Amino acid sequence: MKRNLSLLAVIFLAGFSASGHASTSPVTFESLVEQDSNLPGVQIFLAENRAAANDYKSSTEHYMNAIELGVSGAVWNLMSFVDRDVLHDEYLNNALRKIKSMATEDKELSLFLANYYHNRNNTEKEAFHWMNNSLRLGSAGVSEILADYIIRSVGGAESHYTLTEAATLLKKASDEGSGSASLRLAQLFDEGEILKRNLGQARHYYDLAARTGEIEANFRLGYFMEHGIGGEKDLVGAARLYEQLIHTEKSADVHYRLSRLYMYNEDQFENARVDGVSHLVAAANLGNADALYKVGVATYYGSDGFKVNISKAIEHLKNAAYAGSKLAAQRLVQIYRNGDRNISPNKELMKEFQRILTDAPKV
């Protein structure tokens, strides 16, 4: 049996060779790919293959071929390359042109282009164009940035929208849950320059922004509650808001606010005097100019539970003046003009703090 099979094999091979098939080149995967390169799946395969080798130029060309062959989703691969900043010069420009050509009626592509140009220098007009297009298509993520462009007159946005429309866009973003939009809207109502001043509305939007964790909103809302601005006075609520901000970048100002709140409202809080002084010292140590001034005065005269310490008092007053306290500068001018409490008159120091008092440049 084995001998018969061997014989058949010899006969088959002889016939195969005689027919000329033995000289045909073997089929390779590369040749098949080249033969079917007009198939979109092959272009995607080639694009992925070149991307894996970090050849983003060739990969871009294949993805664009795939798009031309009907695979529109390949545009997302181009967007990934653009976003990752792996394309440059003509390849970047070609990819952007392709994305733009497909973005006019696609809100996600429009939003991508809006963000892309917004985060680059000197491309504000392009950014505004795609923001506007995104808004037209119903994108939820562009209202706040577009409002900012309008308010700051960036990219020509102010020629297409009014400031009132900018506020409407901010309200839309606020309604969608943006804390930063709520904060900006609160500030507009608070300042009364772009919108008619409305402290009740300002307090409302500060409250919304504070609930999302906006530090500045918490701080401002605390002030409104402390002084009964735009609504009822709520000292306990204000203190609670301030206490939440002690370990933030607002720490120095928060300690000072708490010191005032406790020291001027002793009937509202337990241990108010002790806590107030503690917060005042903390604010001074963190460089708050008003706190430095108050600690300086209290140490100078021995008030508010502070012991008299003239050298420390002068140090605090100087630091307060250098930090911008006009009251501290004025007090030091008085001290150095005539002398006081074993401090001799000093014309040079008096002039130095007079310059601070009048904002005159040092010569």
Instruction: Name the token pair of 129.
Output: 């164009």
How high is the pLDDT of residue 12? 42
Q: What phi and psi values does residue 344 have, to the nearest 5 degrees?
A: -75, 150
Is the pLDDT at 16 greater than 50? The verdict is no
Work out the pLDDT band at 358, boundaries 50, 70, 90. confident
What is residue 14's predicted lDDT score, i.e. its pLDDT? 47
Cβ neighbours of 123 (radius 10 Å): 14
Kindly write down the DSSP assignment for every residue of 143-197, as one continuous string: HHHHHHHHHHT-TTGGGTS-HHHHHHHHHHHHHTT-HHHHHHHHHHHHH-SSS--
Interval 341-360 mean pLDDT = 88
Q: What is the pLDDT of residues 227-263, one digit of tens each?
A: 999 999 999 999 999 999 999 999 999 999 999 999 9
Residue 96, pLDDT > 50, answer yes
Chain segment 266-283, per-residue pLDDT in tens: 999 999 999 999 999 999
pTM, rounded to two decimals: 0.77
Share of the chain above pLDDT 90, in %: 84
**Both tokens assigned to 322:** 């250098």
Tokens of 130: 């795609």
- Residue 114, exposed/middle/buried by CB under 10 A (0-12, 13-18, 19+)? buried
